[in-house]
Amino acid sequence: MKNHNQTSIRAYKSAGFIEKYQKLVRETVIPYQYSVLCDEAPDTEKSHVIQNFINAGKAIRGEDTGDGFYGMVFQDSDAAKWLEAVAYSLSLMPDKELEATADKLIGIIADAQDKDGYLNTYFTVKDKEKRWTNLLEGHELYCSGHMMEAACAYYEATGKRQLLSVMEKNAEHIYNHFITEKHEGFPGHPEIELALMKMYRCTGNRKCLELAEFFINTRGCDTEFYKKEKAARNWTVWGNNAEDNDYQQSGAPVRQQKKATGHSVRAVYLYTGMADLAAETDDKELFEACRTLWDNITKRRMYITGGIGSTVDGEAFTVDYDLPNDTAYAETCASIGLMFFASRMLENELNGEYADVMERAFYNTVLAGMQLDGKRFFYVNPLEIIPGISAAASTHRHTLTQRPGWYACACCPPNAARLISSFGKYAYGENKDTAFCHLYAAGEVSFENGMAFTCETGYPYGFTVTYKIRKGGNIAIRIPAWSRSYKLTINGKAVNNAPEKGYITIKTDDNDVIVLTLDDAPYFNYPSVKIPELTGCVAVTRGPLVYCFEGVDNENDILSLELCTDTELAVEKTDSTLDAVTIKADAVRKSVSDDCLYTTKPPVTEKCKATAIPYYTWGNRGENQMRVWMTKA
């Protein structure tokens, strides 16, 4: 079976919670990020992204390259991700001026492409001879992948082919180099695999499919590939360890990999490409490999917030059940990648597990990555912040207490922008006769299969979801695992079918009205007893939202608070600063009398209330203690 989530033709006009975020991306993130690309943003590290393309164009024409290349080896991808976000945004709301700006950038990019189709400013400006000699570190395939994604999105949004043509030519060049000439090699940072699948769907060019398959199937077959590649060159970008196959998921052929290892973004980008290819080619063995890796991530290596990659050391997965709160890395991009992976798993199999995780990652880690005003971003999403230790101890340098502005390595902000702008591709899917409602996303949706409906909901704060069918057909609605009870009606009549793998499918006619009512109660969450970090802890969730406790709401001391799990959690009020619903818990506050580290005198306890806010809103009110997992009283 192949389900389509990432289809090009489906249209989604958002409303409600998502619309607010998409507006923020359109009005704040995209313009700000463009000013960064142009080096016009104040108080920001130089980006030089557009200038790199201009200088590469000069190099192609044999002119002096001016101030040359500046930035990370993967600097080009910032432009790609920005263009992709712009494309999705334009498909939500036309904007002539923005489109003209994007067209101009695309022209600059086209000028930077070499005659043979090669496109990468780092190697074009710095040293053409080094092309394709450092797949381990060079990020050429990574940058091409991102630009392919942008090209497909821009074509789908505007119908304009210029960037798509550039990237078709680039794909052709890559095909010739890797398949026709070399018969070896695979990217140090996977990404192009999933991008080539998009190119294949967008253009129908089978070489793109073949190339994706080649990179996926070649990976890990020669476990000394990078070692030999390193021995054959006399330069390095960062001195990466060519023998650390775990880091780049190359220790075994992908079908034999059992554990999610290494750099977490690389891992989930790879798995996304694998799942995409498995669905496209109906490759059951590859799907099973994806399923094994999926289970390893979601049942052993994922935070309750949908964060993955628990250590800063290599921005990587570690081992099963190793999920520290205070030193968590949990990169925003990794959770975005986990959403990609989930959405491609849904193309193989309609199973609510995937959508549950997609939702967990989105409403918690992905949204937490962005300040509520859209102006600052977290890369790292810890589950505990204690000023004085966080960002201070040498082991906690990465767990910042406040979102900084644009980074030198600017992967997460544009990644969040493109994800939010294309939310409809994750919320909805379809096959020839059914529309899938994976996530609850208010707005109007038209499906490629002809169906159409309007979805009304205040989700994630409102728990009623109404689907007003405009053009009938089968509709498969997800019942999330977190909802202990639910009610589903069609035209006021109860639907009693039990969910199958988390979905209930209903046949609808035009003008039918379906109402889903989900469980709106807040709950305590208990961790597996196998996670050492979490023994004795509870976390609060309501719907898809994981809550956290900040000092500012709790007398600036959450460490001495313990939650009473034998009384009910209360849904409190909407906090106007955060535009979020808060939750109150009965708690006790402990105090230990002496200024000593340890005492045999039991602490004095006092009853009190503790206030929780949604995790995605943390860090928006100044430096502050924060905890997701609290001790139970």
Q: Which residues make up the interface to its own copies (CB under 8 A)?
A: 298-300, 302, 304, 311, 313-314, 316, 318-324, 326-327, 384, 386, 388-389, 392-396, 482, 484, 523-533, 535-537, 539, 541, 557, 559-560, 562, 565, 590-592, 595-603, 631-632
Q: Which helix (H) or strand (E) holds 561?
A: strand 561-563
CB nearer to its own copies: pick between 129 and 594: 594
Closest distance to its own copies from the beta carbon of 298 (Å): 8
Q: Which of 197, 467, 519, 135 is nearest to 347 (CA)?
A: 197
CB nearer to its own copies: pick between 451 and 552: 552
CB nearer to its own copies: pick between 298 and 620: 298
Closest distance to its own copies from the beta carbon of 600 (Å): 4
Structure tokens at 248: 């780049």
CA angle 337, 304, 273 (to 5 degrees): 20
Structure tokens at 299: 């049942």
CB nearer to its own copies: pick between 611 and 631: 631
Q: What is the DSSP letter of 499?
A: P
Closest distance to its own copies from the beta carbon of 540 (Å): 10
* Given 315, 347, 384, 562, the catalytic residue: 315
Closest distance to its own copies from the beta carbon of 628 (Å): 11
User: Is residue 38 annotated as a catalytic residue, yes or no?
Assistant: no
Peptide bond before residue 460 is cis, with ω within 30 degrees of 0: yes
* Given 411, 437, 537, 564, the catalytic residue: 411
> What's the Cα-to-Cα distance from 257 to each of 29, 158, 219, 343, 378, rounded to whole Å?
38, 40, 11, 20, 30
Quick check: 557 and 625 in contact, CB under 8 A?
Answer: yes
State whether residue 476 is helix, strand or coil: strand
Strand blocks (E) in 383-519: 384-385, 428-430, 434-437, 443-446, 452-457, 464-471, 473-478, 486-490, 493-494, 503-508, 513-518
User: Is residue 63 annotated as a catalytic residue, yes or no?
Assistant: no
- Phi/psi zone of residue 516: left (φ > 0), alpha (ψ -120 to 50 degrees), beta? beta
Residues 6+ apart with CB under 8 A from 602: none
Closest distance to its own copies from the beta carbon of 271 (Å): 18
Closest distance to its own copies from the beta carbon of 522 (Å): 10
CB nearer to its own copies: pick between 320 and 444: 320
Closest distance to its own copies from the beta carbon of 570 (Å): 17
How far, in Å, CA of 369 to CA of 349, rounded? 29
Closest distance to its own copies from the beta carbon of 386 (Å): 5
What is the Cα Rg of the chain in Å? Answer: 24
CB nearer to its own copies: pick between 501 and 530: 530
CB nearer to its own copies: pick between 97 and 595: 595
Closest distance to its own copies from the beta carbon of 576 (Å): 29
CB nearer to its own copies: pick between 323 and 506: 323
CA 94 to chain centre: 25
Query: Cα torsion for 225, 226, 231, 234, to the nearest 10°?
Result: 140
Write the DSSP assignment of 419-451 as a string of letters. HHHTHHHHHEEE-SSEEEE-S---EEEE-TTS-
CA angle 147, 279, 13 (to 5 degrees): 60
Q: Residue type at 407?
A: Y
CB nearer to its own copies: pick between 388 and 622: 388
Q: Residue type at 533?
A: E
The 10 Å Cβ neighbour count of residue 13 is 16
Active-site amino acid positions:
315, 411
